[in-house]
Amino acid sequence: MTYEDLLEIEAIRQLKARYFRLMDQKRWDEWEDVFCEDVVISTPDDTGEGSDITGNRSFRQYLEPILAPIITTHHGHMSEISIHGPDTASGVWSMEDHLDWPPDSGVGQMWGTGWYEETYRKGNDGQWRIATLRLRRQRIQVEGNRVFPAERPTA
Amino acid sequence: MTYEDLLEIEAIRQLKARYFRLMDQKRWDEWEDVFCEDVVISTPDDTGEGSDITGNRSFRQYLEPILAPIITTHHGHMSEISIHGPDTASGVWSMEDHLDWPPDSGVGQMWGTGWYEETYRKGNDGQWRIATLRLRRQRIQVEGNRVFPAERPTA
Amino acid sequence: MTYEDLLEIEAIRQLKARYFRLMDQKRWDEWEDVFCEDVVISTPDDTGEGSDITGNRSFRQYLEPILAPIITTHHGHMSEISIHGPDTASGVWSMEDHLDWPPDSGVGQMWGTGWYEETYRKGNDGQWRIATLRLRRQRIQVEGNRVFPAERPTA
């Protein structure tokens, strides 16, 4: 790790902070810009599918209507960020999210934990953005009942 | 961002860490010193009022008796700190708090999320302190029931 | 604080991140290496005893079978890390853990908060490792009921 790396790591930490805050404050126009235009999003544990979403516009179009009626809190913890070159980096974050659906939805409250595994790319404008994002779920609870994983680990 | 900024950012991060730890450990004498003497505290979502508290002594006199019987856990996440000059800075933190009242209080457990929007000032002693603190609540639950905001957002 | 300190602080932050992630992902072989071989572990609030565990192998042998059937999430927050010399450092972290036992265990879900008080040592290989770890519990709840501390603080 070099002094230069420290500057890049802090910039990426603040990038990820904006990712969380702008999502939870539903400031979607600003939120779009934390991603590369060709970002690849992989959330197989949430969607139950292997298919990825490509593109920051597509990801917003997918997520904004889902989250619109929901109070969402997403927190990242314990970042492990590595700088690989002048414009490439990767990182792992521990993740926790709390989602609160409206009463008439019948869904209730969701709580989950997991890890983000990400790569970052610095643009010609000198800004780091998320290039790939994979969310590995550890567990999901709805109204206090575990819905993921289906089976508990055994000794 | 400069290398010098990184030193200041880390100092402010540790300042905020002391704010949380000294409050939750109820070490009020030390806690007072994380603030400027003329700090302005704004927590309208908690107090239901627009009036601010001015002064670290006043804030302590207000908060210490309220929190005395309560087990409190306050965590900050995902700091976005900007250095504006040799002795001025600002920052945003995601916030989560868990408060546990004694049984005879009839209050129970509170859980909340939100954001701190703060400014910092470096004193003649070279120490950063909190100059202004505004807590924007996102939600508050008491015993699992949401009490703030009163209305859920709708699609 | 010096620029050199910033490099060491970031290295120690990422060390602690590996401590959490490798434990919660049950990657015990890698997890062992975040500790000095002669690490001293003190968790009196968990064990109800004053006796420490010495050695990273012993700690693993103690912990791995306990955690094997449990989904565990451990998060650290708000680090206060001080560098004391070229190969010695100390730190305090706020801690939160969520443990989910299998249904047939009859235990259910545990949630706790507290603080890690730690020291770190840099080895001849240039890697920081945890030299001593003391976990001070603030509270433990099992299935929403507080089991530690036994008595609530009173005003």
Token duo for residue A3: 């002094």
Distance CA A107, CA B63 (A): 37
Strand B128-142 to strand B35-42: parallel, antiparallel, or no bridges (unpaired)?
Answer: parallel
Of C3, C94, C113, the CB nearest to B3: C3
Contacts of A18 in chain B (CB under 8 A): 80
Given a contact as 3+ CB pairs under 8 Å, which chains touch C? A, B
Contacts of C14 in chain A (CB under 8 A): 79-81
Percent of chain C with pLDDT over 70: 97
Is A153 within 8 Å of C11 when comparing Cβ atoms? Answer: no
Tell me which chain A residue has its CA closest to the CA of residue B3: A7
| ipTM field | 0.94
Mean pLDDT (whole number) for A72-76: 98
The pLDDT confidence band at residue C154, using thresholds 50, 70 and 90, is very low
Is C68 within 8 Å of A138 when comparing Cβ atoms? Answer: no
Percent of chain A with pLDDT over 90: 86
Contacts of C146 in chain B (CB under 8 A): 100
Is B80 within 8 Å of A21 when comparing Cβ atoms? Answer: yes
Share the mean pLDDT of chain C.
94
pTM for the model stands at 0.95
Is C78 within 8 Å of B6 when comparing Cβ atoms? Answer: no
pLDDT tens digits, B46-72: 877 778 999 999 999 999 999 999 999
Mean pLDDT (whole number) for A131-144: 95
Is C21 within 8 Å of A153 when comparing Cβ atoms? Answer: no
Q: For the domain made up of B3-148, give the CATH fold.
A: Nuclear Transport Factor 2; Chain: A, (3.10.450)
Pairs across B and C, CB distance < 8 A: 64
For residues B44 and C84, the model is more confident at C84
DSSP state of C21: H
pLDDT tens digits, A9-53: 999 999 999 999 999 999 999 999 999 999 999 998 887 777 899
Is A69 within 8 Å of B155 when comparing Cβ atoms? Answer: yes
| C155 has a pLDDT exceeding 60 | no
pLDDT of residue B135: 96
3-class secondary-structure state, position A63: helix
The pLDDT confidence band at residue A154, using thresholds 50, 70 and 90, is very low
3-class secondary-structure state, position B32: helix
- Using a CB cutoff of 8 Å and minimum separation of 24, what contacts does A136-139 make? A136/A45, A137/A45, A137/A46, A137/A112, A137/A113, A138/A112, A138/A113, A138/A114, A138/C24, A138/C71, A138/C73, A139/A112, A139/A113, A139/A114, A139/C71, A139/C73, A139/C100
Interface contact A80, partner C, CB < 8 A: yes
| Closest chain A C-alpha to B59 CA, distance in angstroms | 27
Four-CA torsion C89, B6, C78, A43, nearest 10 degrees: -120
Q: Which residue has the tokens 């029931």?
A: B145
Token duo for residue A84: 């690989």
pLDDT of residue A127: 98
pLDDT of residue B36: 98
Of B6, B20, B68, the CB nearest to C78: B20
pLDDT of residue B8: 98
C-alpha count within 13 angstroms, C-beta hemisphere, residue A121: 12
Distance CA A25, CA A86 (A): 31
Mean pLDDT by 10 residues, chain B (155 residues): 97 98 98 98 84 96 96 98 98 97 91 98 98 96 90 50
